[in-house]
Amino acid sequence: MRISIISFRRRRDTDSFQFEPGEQLDIFKLYTRTENELIMGEDDKHLSFRFSLLLENINDGTIKQRITLTTGVEFKNLFGRLYFFPVKPFHQLIVKRTLKKMIRKIEKEK
Whole-model pTM: value is 0.66
Tell me: the pLDDT tens digits for 67-88?
788 889 999 999 999 999 998 8
**Cα distance between residue 56 and residue 7, in whole Å:** 11
Q: Report pLDDT for 9.
A: 45
User: Residue 96 — very low, low, confident or very high, per pLDDT cuts 50/70/90?
Assistant: confident
Q: How far is CA 44 from the centre of its chain?
A: 18
